[in-house]
Amino acid sequence: MSIQTHFNKFDKKIYLTSHSDGYKKAKEKDQSIYDEIKVAFKNAGYPVIDTFMQGSFSVNTAINSLDGDYDIDRAIVIDTENAPVDPVAPKKIIKDVLSKRNFKDPRIKTPCVTADYKSINLHIDYTVYKKEASVFGDTYYLAVGKVGSSEE
């Protein structure tokens, strides 16, 4: 066999998209969690106006890992006018949702909320942005901070 044949075989084995069979369960969990986050944000007074994938899935470089762990990086976008002054407030809501959803030790980090699912190999990072629209285009501001961070 040629090197190209071996490479094609290898690529087929590790290639992962959001439509791959192995990713289906993780995708269903992510969608269910996202739906719950949207409701919680709306109830808190800052409805979600958009979402998008980040990380390897957003740039089509995701691979099947050796341990079968799926890594999802999702952005949650709220409008600037409805965004709370404290950038950690929406992260607390996400942490609360994840805590109730069988994730072990959800943590608020400076750029995101991160957690690992207990019963399946799933790692999730949620980032929160506020979106400001202008005639020059949209500007996204990352909610930076964790519990105990200074206002700066």
Tell me the pLDDT tens digit for each residue of 61-115.
666 665 666 778 899 999 999 999 999 999 999 999 999 987 888 999 999 999 9
Model-level pTM?
0.82
The domain defined by 3-142 carries CATH number 3.90.550.10: no
Torsions phi, psi for 82 (to 5 deg): -100, -5
* d(C-alpha 111, C-alpha 113), whole Å: 7
What integer pLDDT is reported at residue 112 of this predicted model? 94
